Amino acid sequence: MDPDTEPDALFGLAELLDDDGGGAPADAAGAGARPAGAGLLDVREIHAEPAAALSPRGRQVIARFPGARLIEVGSHWNIPQLHGNEGNAERWVRVKRQTLVLGVRKSLTVRPNGRSADWIAPGASNGCAMSCAYCYVPRRKGYANPITVFTNIGDITGALERHIASLGPKEEPNQCDPRRWVYDIGENGDCSVDALISDNTADLVRAFRAWPTAMASFATKYVNRDLLDLDPRGSARVRFSLMPPGDSRLLDVRTSPVAERIAAAGDFLEAGYEVHFNLSPVVLRPGWEADWAELLRRLDDELPPAVKAQAAAEVIMLTHNRELHEVNLRWHPKAEDALWRPDLQQAKRSENGALNVRYRNEVKRAGVERLTELVAEHAPWLRVRYAF
Ligand code: SF4
């Protein structure tokens, strides 16, 4: 659908917002009118379900990007001009930079996990402004998957509160955390980037502050220093994803440089976060062991002692996907030289029918073992929570 062919729908939503108080409450801009994610975001269009646009959180987002055109959509799930479009990657980056979606989250299910976290929270967003070549997040909406902000954040925190209350205290320590139930709040996006757009991440971090038996956790590849002001008081764990800088330059498209993520760790700890690391994805290619060893030595040299004293890591070997491989060949074939290794990989049909590709069992086992040895040798203070 070309938005220009939908003037009535657009007019109707804009008019409703006007009739109802000018589009945004006085405090709608939340953290203020600072430029959001300069370079990463330049929002020109907001595709919104009417109920999402009219909600307080929707109004906050709309007020934060006053120059953006508002386009009414029936469902955040199905916006053909944004999702799919596997062939035109240049356009996806533009879509990711210039487009947001506002939707109302219907499913509020908390799912068990047991690896990164005890539980996966219903996310407050779906999609990402960054474009990592191995990213699994677009798998459900299609490859140009800009950020959808879910505006019913109160429903999400309410569902979490009920779930946490139903569990009671954590009786048995586990690798996720010895004391508290850990909830991953960013499974399908990057909470640091989401915080450039709305107060959803802030609301979640603050909500967990009030729940002493639980903590939030999210992985990130973007350093957003605004998060330093949220005062989590230990109730949120940030997991900076790391890989050798050469791999990251090739694969982590549009993210903060690895050096910046390492440099931020001490500041986040001081601001009240627990700081862990995701050593992921581990991409096997000639020279990988030497480059990971160098990265680990760098962590040993550069991280403050206080970060080391509480740090832990997840090690996750690359999972790739045949459809994503085909798409990447059209826009970033060099990434596929590293990601697509049929000589080392085996295919596995996932629950949703996608053809995932993983390192063969013995290759993966040897890779995990070698990386764990490298951690023990070069960063012995870094407890590996799990390696997979
Ligand atoms: S930062 Fe995470 S969610 Fe965003 S593109 Fe990269 S892997 Fe995907």
Which CATH number covers residue 146? 3.80.30.30
Mutation test residue for ligand 1: of 92, 132, 191, 332, the one with most atoms within 8 Å of CB: 132
Spell out the residues 6+ positions from residue 138 whose beta carbon is closer than 8 angstroms to its own.
127, 144, 145
Joined tokens for residue 26: 């006085």
- The separation between CA 375 and the C-alpha centre of its own chain, rounded to angstroms, equals 25
Beta strand 111-112 with 119-120 is antiparallel
pLDDT for the residue numbered 309: 98
> CB-side exposure of 122: number of CA atoms within 13 Å?
22
Taking CA atoms only, the protein residue closest to ligand 1 atom 8 is 135
Check residue 10 and give its pLDDT: 45
Q: What is the pLDDT of residue 381?
A: 98
Question: Which residues, including other chains, have CB under 8 Å from residue 334's CB and lie 6 or more apart?
Answer: 250
- CA–centroid distance, 224 to ligand 1, in Å, is 15
CA distance 317 to 315: 7
- pLDDT given for residue 367 in this prediction: 98
Distances (CA, A) of 110 to 113, 183, 202, 366: 10, 9, 20, 34
Q: How far, in Å, from the CA of 139 to the mean position of ligand 1? A: 12
**What's 257's DSSP letter?**
P
| pLDDT tens-place values along the chain, 388 residues long | 333 333 334 446 666 566 554 343 333 333 333 445 668 999 999 999 999 999 999 999 999 999 999 999 999 988 877 776 665 666 778 888 999 999 999 999 999 999 999 999 999 999 999 999 999 877 666 677 899 999 999 999 999 999 999 999 999 999 999 999 999 999 999 999 999 999 999 999 999 999 999 999 999 999 999 999 999 999 999 999 999 999 999 999 999 999 999 999 999 999 999 999 999 999 999 999 999 999 999 999 999 999 999 999 999 999 999 888 988 888 889 999 999 999 999 998 877 677 899 999 999 999 999 999 999 999 999 999 999 9
Tell the burial category of 198 from Cβ atoms under 10 Å away from its Cβ (0-12, 13-18, 19+).
buried
* Interatomic CA distance for residues 112 and 10, integer angstroms: 40
Could you tell which of 137, 218, 324 is best to mutate to test the pocket of ligand 1, judged by most ligand atoms within 8 Å of the CB?
A: 137
Q: What is the pLDDT at residue 23?
A: 40
Query: For the chain, what is the domain count?
Result: 1
Confidence (pLDDT) at 326: 87
The alpha carbon of 128 and the centre of ligand 1 are apart by a number of angstroms equal to 6
- Which residue segment(s) compose the domain that 275 sits in? 3-387
Measured from the Cα of 128, ligand 1's closest atom is 4
Radius of gyration of the chain (CA): 21
Give the pocket of ligand 1 (CB within 6 Å). Answer: 128, 130-132, 135, 137, 189-190, 221, 255
Q: What is the pTM of this model?
A: 0.91
pLDDT at 4: 31
Q: Given this model, what pLDDT does residue 16 score?
A: 59
